Amino acid sequence: MSIDLAAIRAEFPLLKRKINGKRLVYVDSAATSQKPQSVLDAMDNYYTTQNANVHRGVYTLAEEATSAFESARARTAKFIGAQDPHELVFTRNATESINLVARTWGYQNLRDGDVVVLTEMEHHANIVPWQMLSAERGIIIRWIPITSDYRLDLSDIDALLDGASLLAVTSMSNVLGTVNDLEKLVAAARSAGAKVLVDACQSIPHDPVDVVAWGADFVAFSGHKMMGPTGIGALWARRELLEEMPPFLGGGEMIRDVRKDGFTMNDVPWKFEAGTPAIAEAIGLGAAVDWLSAVGMENIAEHERALTEYALEQLTSAFGDEITIYGPQTAEGRGSAVSFLFNEIHAHDISQVLDEDGVCVRAGHHCAKPLMRVLGVPATSRASFAIYNTFEDVDALVEALHKAKTFFAR
């Protein structure tokens, strides 16, 4: 491994914080990642030296701001393997990206009785927009089930996709950590004539991603889970699709011309970016992909895989039957999100006790209530690792769980 973990950790100012006098053990990166200093500096630099609106002024500041904004787009597009930076639409987050597809492509192409195929492991962001379309347009939603080992059950995939217009699927479950077989899913969708939308929120920060190799039509992701700021996300889509799709929001920036009797649209991607965008945040996202590239996505994937393997081993060997891990039981074909139920103690209570030791885990339904119903649990605790986590963080988690067990056994 060619990473210097101590040097990497030193780049994250927040990791120096103490919680209740204890070293911060941040293992909730699937919810949002911490931010390296270079991202904070890039945003600060924009506000302190370049702040002007983009695509409007002809003065030096406006040119610099526009250039920094568009450069961030180009670097982000390149980072995910896109050939054309104009195939990358800036949004607020993956949720907005998916809603954009549902509201534009969906409204244009889906009618009563058309089928959208989802999976049981989707985040609400990739469920509710389609349910809204179902309520308004009468589209039908089919669900790819999960197996008892927490993977997609593809045994009936061709029947499920038969006649479908769209397959909308996560590349990695934010609850189970399961990495889905996109190659197989995209091939099945293609032969059924369905378009494919990938919710890539959990993959892009953790694995090398090439959207062109995936062969998907739409890819949605959020900046704040990949070392970038909140308030910026993106939709990547094939150019011919973006060209055909109607605009999303109306306003400035998305137009070429406006007269009293109507308007003409701007080119892609700006036709989907009405209003002043999140300029500083886009610049921050650009710095985030630079940071990830400098560390190297292969290195990141390798380190996180080692952490995940260690966490699964430690949790299982320390607690045996007292812990149920919801997700693949080995590090094979999974990411670093490890959801679990511990000693029948509710996830909130676990999280509260862990916080005493500075250990931050997510507790709840993880915005995946249909999945939680399939699993038959109201809530789980979830630890999720990023490049800045250490093996000591896993040890601290295990130690804190021992304390929780003692506390609730009193």
Partner 1 sequence: MPGLEDLYREIILDHYRSPRNRGELPTPPALSAEGFNPLCGDEVVLYLNVDAEGNVTDIKTGGQGCSISQASTSMMGAAVKGKSIAEARQLITAFKALMSIHESKLEGGDATAATEEAIAGVRLGDLEALQGVVKFPVRIKCATLAWNTLTQILDESDSA
Q: Which residues bind partner 1 (CB under 8 A)?
A: 20, 345-349, 352-353, 356, 363-365, 369, 372, 378-379, 407-408, 410
Q: In whole angstroms, what is the distance from residue 371 CA to residue 105 CA?
A: 26
The residue whose two tokens read 């699964």 is 312
* Cβ proximity of 378 and 365 under 8 Å: yes
- Closer to partner 1 by CB, 11 or 356: give it: 356
Tokens of 59: 């003065």
Closest C-alpha to 282, from 125, 7, 85, 123 = 85
Of the candidates 330, 299, 24, 287, the one whose C-alpha atom is nearest the C-alpha of residue 176 is: 330
Our CB check for partner 1 shows the closer of 25 and 345 to be: 345
The residue count of the chain comes to 410
Closest by CA position to 235, among listed 100, 108, 107, 367: 100
Structural contact between residues 90 and 234, judged by C-beta atoms closer than 8 angstroms: yes
Tokens of 238: 């094939």
Q: How far is the CB of 410 from partner 1 (least distance, A)?
A: 8
Q: Which two tokens stand for residue 43?
A: 């945003």
- Phi and psi, residue 370, nearest 5°: -60, -40
* Distance in angstroms (rounded) separating the CA atoms of residues 134 and 115: 9
The SS3 of residue 266 is coil
- Cα end-to-end distance, the chain, whole Å: 44
Q: Which residues contact residue 362 at a Cβ distance below 8 angstroms, ignoring those fewer than 6 apart?
A: 28, 30, 31, 351, 381, 382, 384
Instruction: Name the burial class of residue 317, with classes exposed (0-12), middle (13-18) and buried (19+) by CB atoms within 10 angstroms of its CB.
Output: exposed
Q: Let me know if 367 is a catalytic residue.
A: yes
Q: Which residues contact 174 (CB under 8 A, 6 or more apart)?
A: 30, 123, 201, 202, 337, 366, 367, 368
> Looking at beta carbons only, is 53 or 230 nearer to partner 1?
230
We find the least distance from the C-beta atom of residue 128 to partner 1, in angstroms, to be 12
Residue with tokens 């997609």: 152
Strand order across the 195-199 sheet: 88-91, 233-237, 218-222, 195-199, 164-170, 115-119, 140-144
CB of 230 vs partner 1, minimal distance in Å: 18
Residue 372 φ/ψ, nearest 5 degrees = -60, -35
Catalytic residue among 133, 367, 397, 401: 367
**Closest CB to partner 1 among residues 309, 356:** 356
Task: Catalogue the active-site residues.
Answer: 367
